[in-house]
């Protein structure tokens, strides 16, 4: 089982199953998103950023969704943010996850401005709960999860 460093200021390591996920379907990558997955695989959470309008966004795209500029860079994220919304999955949409329902997926508005999605390790949840990103590994694939943290 591989380990991945925790994003942000923490120095602890996490491993597969930290958010209760045991099955995986490999993420589909393309030239626009591959760098993001590769960074996550190293334990880094990077956020696409527009140098024209100073906006951050997700997922990675060839142009800024705010202003259309192609003057983009990638900025390290603290991994800290607040819950924007969440859903608890009771019926698996893929046979690989039949044994894992119910599980909860959160939409997190990162402090840097982008909104990302991932499973969450601990509940119950409230709107605007403070969370941090927790990359974890399932069968060698690093995925993005979150966990609640104190204010
Ligand atoms: Zn922009």
* Position 8 in a domain: no
**CA–centroid distance, residue 143 to ligand 1 (Å):** 27
Give the C-alpha separation, 83 to 86, whole Å: 7
Distance 70 CA to ligand 1 centre (A): 8
pLDDT category at 18 given cuts 50, 70, 90 is low
Strand ranges (DSSP E) for the chain? Answer: 3-5, 13-15, 46-50, 72-76, 80-89, 103-110, 115-120, 130-138, 141-148
Answer whether residue 71 is part of any domain: yes
- Ligand 1 midpoint to CA 116 (Å): 18
By the CB criterion, residues less than 5 angstroms from ion ligand 1 are 50, 52-53, 55, 64, 66-67, 69
Higher pLDDT, 121 or 5: 121
pTM above 0.85, yes or no: no
9 belongs to a structural domain: no
Task: State the Cα angle at 41 between 40 and 47, rounded to 5°.
Answer: 15
The answer to the question of residue 143 being in a domain is yes
Measured from the Cβ of residue 111, the count of other Cβ atoms closer than 10 Å reads: 15
For residue 130, the CA-to-ligand 1 centroid distance in Å is 27
Average pLDDT, the chain: 86
Question: What is the number of structural domains in the chain?
Answer: 1
What number is the average pLDDT over the span 100-104? 90
Whether residue 121 lies inside any domain: the answer is yes
Q: Which of 36, 37, 44, 38 is nearest to 5 (CA)?
A: 44
Separation CA 61–CA 30 (nearest Å):
10
In a domain, 4, yes or no: no
Asked if residue 6 is part of any domain, the answer here is no
Q: Report the separation in Å between the CA atom of 53 and the middle of ligand 1, taken as the mean of its atom positions.
A: 4
pLDDT tens digit sequence for 25-80: 888 899 999 999 999 999 999 999 999 999 999 999 999 999 999 999 999 999 99
Residue-range definition of the domain harbouring residue 79: 19-148
Judge whether 5 lies within some domain: no
* CA-angle at 110, arms to 127 and 28, nearest 5°: 105
Q: What's the gap in Å between 62 CA and the centre of ligand 1? A: 11
What is the CA(34)–ligand 1 centre distance, in A?
21
C-alpha–C-alpha distance, residues 98 and 108, integer Å? 25
């Amino acid at each position: 089982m591989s380990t991945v460093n925790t994003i942000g200021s923490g120095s602890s390591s996490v491993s597969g199953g930290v958010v209760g996920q045991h099955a995986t379907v490999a993420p589909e990558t393309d030239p626009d998103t591959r760098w993001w997955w590769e960074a996550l695989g190293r334990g880094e959470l990077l956020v696409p950023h527009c140098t024209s309008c100073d906006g951050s966004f997700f997922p990675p795209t060839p142009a800024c969704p705010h202003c259309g500029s192609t003057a983009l860079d990638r900025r390290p994220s603290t991994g800290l943010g607040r819950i924007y919304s969440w859903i608890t999955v009771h019926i698996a949409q893929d046979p690989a996850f039949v044994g894992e329902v119910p599980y909860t997926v959160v939409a997190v508005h990162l402090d840097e401005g982008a909104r990302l999605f991932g499973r969450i390790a601990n509940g119950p949840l409230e709107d605007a709960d403070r969370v941090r990103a927790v990359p974890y590994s399932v069968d060698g694939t690093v995925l993005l999860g979150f966990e609640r943290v104190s204010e």
